[in-house]
Amino acid sequence: MKTLLNNLIIYQSFKEDAILKGIARSVKEIKKNDGKNLSKYVYPAVHELLDIATVYGFNKNLWKCYIAYLAATTETPFTLASERQGTLNGSVNKLVMRDLSYIYNIYNYDFSKLDAALPQDVFAVLTDYKAVQKSESIVNLSVSKKVLTLMENMNGAKNPEELYAVLTDFYKTYGVGELGLNRAFRLDDNGKVTAITHPGLVTLDEIALYDSQKRRLEENTVAFLNRKPANNVLLYGDAGTGKSTMIKGLLTKYESAGLRMIEIYKHEFKHLSKVVSQIKNRNYRFIIYLDDLSFEEFEIEYKYLKAIIEGGLELCPENVLIYATSNRRHLIRETWEDRPDAFAADMHQNDTVTEKLSLSERFGLKIGFFRPSQQEFFNITKKIAQREGLNLADEELFAEANKFSMSHSGLSGRTAKQCVKYLLSR
């Protein structure tokens, strides 16, 4: 196996993979007469393989799952080009086919000799593995489903030529690397986009009101996914009205259409240009999600955001939009001194007001969310109660909801959800 790994050119990163290196050393050990160091290499590799299988919910043949995972996550000029175009023409294909002839043998490797040298048949278990079913809070299902699909298709490949067709089709359909296999991301301390391994499954159906707002937001998002002109969006209004839930619900609904979402906090705006450089020219549509966005007068981070949306020398890529939520329509704190008839120490008061409004004006679509009426609040509470299986007569539910709203943050979808949780806990 070590010879197979050492001969790779395009998929050269396979050589440095700890699990593959451990198994390759194990295979080399059994060729020796004593094989006394076999356990030194094989068991740590198997342990790590089981750990990764748990994280991603691999099943059936863990070895083949892992090779499929490596093939899906290896970013090279070839795999990135395949992501954009599918099957490629050119001399690189000769080198790729050379690599795939080795990967085909690695994928279908016969572990019977290795098992025979061990006290127990370890690989017989790993290649016919029955995983315990796990929820998405434990398993990264976004990656798991795609890797298992790739494995099933690789199983059907009878030779390296068919394996080439399987891989290039996968790259074109699902993407490659961390950005392709995952749907939700955040930034690390250095501003690098990194996957959120267990994103929640929020659905648009969880929002019981605001149908017109939902329709406008979806229309803009679908246009964006279809590579038509679309606007950056600001969702503003009262707290607890479902602004954040609506954006998260888009990701659940449209992931399969190529939607990806990156959550960025205000203190990370200095990394925005770095983020854009990481995601431009990829075959997905990225929404940069800014939750609860607002600025005090002394905060200047909004200038980074202004430059990215409009105003910088480098245009924002066509595969990137910004969706923000805020309780403030104009995002930057305003004072009475900003009124045109107010006396202020600022000699150029109009310029100051224009500066404060300039950020919100860069959002081409603004959608307002406002507190529901009491009857609408009761309807929201009833819908949530039905969804959660809370069986109470309407009169009793409404009485409890009314009492709960008066002792909490008033009428809102968030209050309704909290009320139902409270009643369920009783």
pLDDT digit string, tens, across residues 25-70 = 888 888 776 667 788 889 999 999 999 998 888 888 999 999 999 9
What angle is formed at CA 323 by the lines to CA 264 and CA 283, rounded to 5 degrees? 80
Q: How large is the angle between the packed helices 18-30 and 38-56, nearest 10 degrees?
A: 150
* Short-list 65, 64, 60, CA closest to 125: 60
How much is the average pLDDT of 153-172? 95
Considering the domain architecture, whether residues 48 and 85 belong to the same structural domain is answered as: yes
Contact assessment for residue 122 and residue 37, using Cβ atoms and an 8 Å cutoff: no
Q: What is the pLDDT of residues 179-210, one digit of tens each?
A: 988 999 999 989 899 998 878 788 888 887 88
Considering the domain architecture, whether residues 330 and 387 belong to the same structural domain is answered as: no
How much is the average pLDDT of 68-75? 95
Task: Give the model's pLDDT for residue 139.
Answer: 62
pTM of the model as a whole: 0.81
Considering the domain architecture, whether residues 99 and 62 belong to the same structural domain is answered as: yes
| Domain residue limits at 61 | 2-181
Q: In whole angstroms, give the CA distance from residue 353 to residue 342.
A: 12
Considering the domain architecture, whether residues 157 and 76 belong to the same structural domain is answered as: yes
**Count of positions (residues) in the chain:** 426
Q: In whole angstroms, give the CA distance from residue 199 to residue 248.
A: 10
Number of domains in the chain: 3
Contacts of 84 (CB under 8 A, 6+ apart): 172, 281, 283
Give the Cβ contact number of residue 190 at 10 Å. 8
Contact assessment for residue 405 and residue 411, using Cβ atoms and an 8 Å cutoff: yes
Task: Give the model's pLDDT for residue 351.
Answer: 45
Q: What is the pLDDT of residues 223-280, one digit of tens each?
A: 999 999 999 999 998 888 889 999 999 999 999 899 999 999 988 888 988 999 899 8
Which H helix or E strand runs over 287? strand 285-290
- CATH number of the CATH domain containing 209: 3.40.50.300
Considering the domain architecture, whether residues 154 and 220 belong to the same structural domain is answered as: no
- Among 147, 181, 215, the domain boundary falls at 181
In terms of pLDDT, which residue wins out, 148 or 133? 148
73 has pLDDT over 80: yes
Is the residue at 193 inside a domain?
A: no
317 has pLDDT over 60: yes
What angle is formed at CA 340 by the lines to CA 339 and CA 345, rounded to 5 degrees? 80
What angle is formed at CA 117 by the lines to CA 112 and CA 123, rounded to 5 degrees? 45
Task: Give the model's pLDDT for residue 63.
Answer: 96
Task: Give the model's pLDDT for residue 426.
Answer: 80
Considering the domain architecture, whether residues 247 and 333 belong to the same structural domain is answered as: yes
Considering the domain architecture, whether residues 388 and 301 belong to the same structural domain is answered as: no
Cα distances from 272 to residues 51, 193, 224, 276, 422, in angstroms, run: 34, 10, 20, 6, 40
Is the residue at 357 inside a domain?
A: yes
Is the residue at 286 inside a domain?
A: yes
Considering the domain architecture, whether residues 145 and 161 belong to the same structural domain is answered as: yes
Contact assessment for residue 367 and residue 216, using Cβ atoms and an 8 Å cutoff: yes
Average pLDDT over all residues of the chain: 85
Considering the domain architecture, whether residues 360 and 382 belong to the same structural domain is answered as: no
Tokens 């590799």 — which residue?
45
Using DSSP, state whether 423 is helix, strand or coil.
helix
Structural tokens at position 271:
């990394």
Considering the domain architecture, whether residues 34 and 9 belong to the same structural domain is answered as: yes
298 has pLDDT over 70: no
- Among 369, 392, 411, the domain boundary falls at 369
Contact assessment for residue 390 and residue 424, using Cβ atoms and an 8 Å cutoff: yes
Considering the domain architecture, whether residues 27 and 166 belong to the same structural domain is answered as: yes
Is the residue at 187 inside a domain?
A: no
Task: Give the model's pLDDT for residue 336.
Answer: 40
Task: Give the model's pLDDT for residue 28.
Answer: 86
How much is the average pLDDT of 395-405? 91
Burial 70-97 (b: 16+ CB within 10 A, else e): bbbbbebebbbbbbeeeeeeeeebeebe
In terms of pLDDT, which residue wins out, 367 or 143? 367
Task: Give the model's pLDDT for residue 296.
Answer: 66
Considering the domain architecture, whether residues 19 and 162 belong to the same structural domain is answered as: yes
Task: Give the model's pLDDT for residue 135.
Answer: 59
337 has pLDDT over 60: no
In terms of pLDDT, which residue wins out, 254 or 354? 254
Using DSSP, state whether 381 is helix, strand or coil.
helix
Task: Give the model's pLDDT for residue 86.
Answer: 83
Give the type of residue at 122. V
Please state which of the ranges 160-169, 205-214, 225-234, 333-342 shows the lowest mean pLDDT: 333-342
Q: What is the DSSP letter of 57?
A: T
